[in-house]
Amino acid sequence: MCVLVYPKNEAQKSALTSFLEERDIDFDYEEPRATPNEYLKLLENRIDEIKCNPESAGSSFNDFDKKMRAKYGF
């Protein structure tokens, strides 16, 4: 699962970091290298790639689900 979040300032980024660390959730921040419109175009291109080749998306939901169930005892 991938969630895109855009903290508006350092306070939001700090709160988000604390929230994710407390729950032992893997995360990474990427600084956008493009303008919002350029970044949107990159995301649209990536969506098209995934539609054509779903394996390129990374781990399947089932793999993620198994990992989370094992980790949190569901």
The 10s digit of each residue's pLDDT in 6-44 is 777 889 888 988 988 888 888 777 766 667 777 788 788
Query: What sign does the CA torsion over 21, 22, 26, 29 have?
Result: negative
The rounded distance, in Å, linking the Cα atoms of 57 and 31 is 20
Quote the tokens at residue 57: 């998306």
The rounded distance, in Å, linking the Cα atoms of 15 and 12 is 5
| Host domain of residue 30 | 10-72
pLDDT (0 to 100) of residue 9:
82
Banded pLDDT at 2 (limits 50, 70, 90): low
Query: Does any domain span residue 25?
Result: yes
Query: Does any domain span residue 47?
Result: yes
Query: Does any domain span residue 34?
Result: yes
pTM: 0.39
Contact 13, 20 (CB under 8 A): no
Instruction: Tally the domains of the chain.
Output: 1
| Beta carbons within 8 Å of 45's beta carbon, 6+ residues apart | none
